Amino acid sequence: MQHTKEEILHQIYLFSNFTMDELAKIAEQTKYKVLEQGESVYQEGNEAKAFYVVMYGTLKILTSTEKGDDVNVTTIATGDHFGEFPFLDQGKRAGTVEAMERCELLEIPFDHLQKILDGDPGLALKFYKGITNYLVKRMRLLTHDLAYARELKKRYL
């Protein structure tokens, strides 16, 4: 079953509280993008101009060590999204994202999203609340993981 752009956007945390009409505004400028296995969406250090929703496929996020070795940070798949943090801090790309198989993505341009949010404070509030909730959950998980790692270190070192 083929889903509309609005339905796909509604499934991710950033837009889960948006109405279909609000999502239609964002979907207007989203682009459908296909990557073949081994192709990169973007490279570490690149300027960021968009973020992505994975409609189909699996991708890996890599970062380089000081020695130049690639480290696989995580794997993302259908239903996931990535690349939104530079929208918040205007930073460069922190990693390289590479397709592990044929992938279908929705590309959401930062400038389009910013224009929509600037024009509708209520929509902006929904968006930033979604990000805040997500970051709090991630911080709680990270705090738990760090506490667990410290406990393991005490036991085995």
The pair of three-digit structure tokens given for residue 73, joined into one six-digit string: 């940070």
Those residues whose C-beta lies under 8 Å from the C-beta of residue 78, and which sit 6 or more positions away, are 54, 55, 56, 57, 58
In this predicted structure, the answer to whether residue 109 has a pLDDT above a threshold of 70 is yes
**Whether residue 1 has pLDDT greater than 70:** no
pLDDT of residue 36: 97
Cα–Cα nearest to 60, from 85, 84, 35: 35
Q: In what order do the strands lie in the sheet with 96-99?
A: 40-42, 96-99, 58-64, 70-77
Report the alpha-carbon distance of residue 115 to residue 111 in Å, rounded: 6
Question: What ranges do the domains of the chain cover?
Answer: 5-156
The helix (H) or strand (E) run that includes residue 2 is: none
Percent of the chain predicted with pLDDT > 90: 55
Fold of 5-156: Jelly Rolls (2.60.120)
Alpha-carbon span 89 to 103, nearest angstrom: 27
Average pLDDT over residues 25-40: 94
State residue 18's pLDDT score. Answer: 92
> Confidence band (pLDDT; 50, 70, 90) for 105?
very high
Mean pLDDT of 19-44: 93
pLDDT of residue 23: 93
